[in-house]
Structure 1
């Protein structure tokens, strides 16, 4: 199966890098001079990320039939019976994963422009690992304190999870949502090759076309390594984000619209596969409609239609997204399982989500920021020593 089934692979936000501020200067594209857009922070993207994270959380708690399967029961009866109106909407929340992949492609390209491979590597390490390390330890502690809902991994497997490379070693995830990080890591590895040569409009376009072709051929090639590297399940969402960023930086043109259209066409097929193999409860039409609306909103962001949105609180909202995504699923469903008879189901879901948002802010403030600073200083010193030794 191309998408893992059951609770081992629930559907993710991902670690989106801080938005950079590229300089404003003329750039020549296709024999026409266009002006790069001012590199101010795109507040709208922070808001979209939070919405996507909440979509995923509500889906996991109230929008999937996996939540009430025998042996993995979160609720004591089908969610569709407990809160039918919430269930009908929450069944589509898994699309937040695809939304995150598109945003990741957009913001990774933006944040890497003008950076060296060393800077790219350091930025990914300090962005991904601090909150992730905390999430692994936090989730493990919760599952020890609240046994019976999830099966815990062996100690050696939990320790391997701290590397974030467990999927490549055939080891399970402490929390099923970590599967998306494996997809992200493969994207970073591929894109690093472009970063190493210096990002330009032409190189990113060629990368999109080559990667798209590989992702298209991989499932029928009979080469597992090609399928692993090409990541056909996620490739076209990242490609859509890359094309959208090129629109934002250099302006729209027919080639970029063509890449985006191809990403939509391939993406809608992947949505159908996900519904058939995992979700089952949502419709293809509704899923494609939501995904299409999201892409249109991102086109608006790319073309500057949302530049007037400058609400400062959105920066905080964006900062909550990654810790919230990492911590909410296994720990949240275990808590719901224990408290499901204490209050109204809808209120319980709301309370749990708000609680994890508060915890996410605390993790961002007291874990991510200080640990990221320490890691950056340490890595910068190590690379400086390595350079001098060479």
Structure 2
């Protein structure tokens, strides 16, 4: 995306979202679960417990950005572009996480060759293996969203009926959360996060003045708030009874989505926009690297340096790694994957053309 086409507000929001998730993991989760070992860094942070909502903000941004990225693309072109964007950086970050985890066995995260190979696909649980890092679950959610988008694009529905698709998705999510409670629906249709994805989708549709988009945008906001509150209600069972205030969750979701709506229209000078773009792209490797590598840092350095100094050292190290991965690895690798994918698509078309001619003659 050219500098003039970027939305720097969304890049800045990505930075805030990944910082919130890291804050949740290091100031709350690892304190409750003991995943960084027995080191005592004090009581779990009170407000840090809500940092996990940064992931939901990522989903809302994704709904908006993916809607833009489908414009003028075929389903195959979209799939290739998404794979090129996600997979190279994922493989590098996952491999680094595996290496650090192997070097710090005291963390208690065992690794096998089968687990590593399964994680190369980005969907390890579908192959019966655990994620290399606990943060990867959201990548699978994103991939499922992309899969639905590509399927709808292939049938010509995504472009023609964006508002109708959004309404159907919100209805499925509402019915599942209010009455059905199906684990299959929850996983297949991402009912916990439907409101966030649809909010982003309809924000873009409203920009394009698609009829009915603003009404569904408001409905998605309500669904996102209710979904966020219901999701938070399940968290005390995961975190030893630690409370998550529903009013705080509702307020944070409302504020974050309204902020997204405003920031999507923010325009800044080209130099600032370019810098924000670099920071925004860095959030993907930062997110992939931060959790288990962060636990390793607190496990090794925390007892010596203390929590604050360890956090600062970790931020510098992960920021430098993310910058290198973004600039030196992800970009050239993504270009190579896109070229390979497009070549494969053209080759398949050439091979299929004679078969189509034969069928037409019949």
Mark yes or no: TM-score above 0.5.
yes
CA-to-aligned-CA distance 1:270-294 (integer Å, 9 cap, x gap): 3433543435354322222222111
What is the aligned partner in structure 2 of residue 230 from structure 1? 189
1:307 lines up with 2:272 in the alignment: no
Who is 1:174 aligned against? 132
Tell me, yes or no, if the aligned pair for 2:18 and 2:286 is still in contact at 8 Å.
yes
CA–CA distance in 2 between the matches of 1:75 and 1:288?
Answer: 34
Deviates more, 1:377-386 or 1:146-155: 146-155
CA-to-aligned-CA distance 1:321-358 (integer Å, 9 cap, x gap): 00000011111111210111222311211220221011
Give TM-score scaled by structure 1 length: 0.81
**Which residue matches 2:315?**
353
| Residue of structure 2 equivalent to 1:259 | 219
The residue number in structure 1 matching 2:248 is 286
1:61 aligns with 2:26: yes
Alpha-carbon distance in 2 for matches of 1:79, 1:202: 54
User: What's the counterpart of residue 40 of structure 2?
Assistant: 77
Query: Counterpart of 1:6?
Result: none
CA distance 1:232–1:387, change in 2 (3 Å): same
Q: Cα deviation per residue 1:175-214 (whole Å; 9 max; x = unaligned)?
A: 0111111111111111123322447676111111111222
Residue 115 of structure 1: CA displacement? 0.9
Shift of the 258–91 alpha-carbon distance from structure 1 to 2, 3 Å rule, reads closer
Give, in whole Å, the separation in 1 of the partners of 2:89 and 2:208: 30
The change in CA–CA distance for 1:189 and 1:126 in structure 2 (over 3 A counts) is same
SS of alignment partner, residue 5 of structure 2: coil
Q: Which residue is 2:348 aligned to?
A: 386
Distance 1:366 1:234, change over 3 A: same
More displaced stretch, 167-176 vs 123-132: 167-176
TM-score by length of 2: 0.87
Instruction: Write the distance in 1 (CA, Å) between the matches of 2:232 and 2:244.
Output: 10
Residues 36-64 of structure 1 show CA distances to partners (whole Å, capped at 9, x for unaligned) of: xxx83111000100111111112211123
Q: 1:234 Cα deviation (Å)?
A: 1.9
* Contact 1:59–1:91 (8 Å) recurs in 2: yes
Tell whether 2:204 aligns with 1:239: no
Return 5+ residue gaps in structure 2 as ranges. Answer: 353-362
* Matched residues, number: 346
Shift in alpha-carbon separation, 1:354–1:254, aligned structure 2, 3 A: same
Deviation at 1:301, TM superposition (A): 3.2
1:344-387 deviation line (CA, Å, top 9, x unaligned): 31121122022101100111122111111111111111111111
Whole-Å separation in 2 of the counterparts to 1:209 and 1:79: 46
1:159 is displaced (CA, Å) by 0.5
Structure 1: runs of 5 or more not aligned: 1-18, 22-38
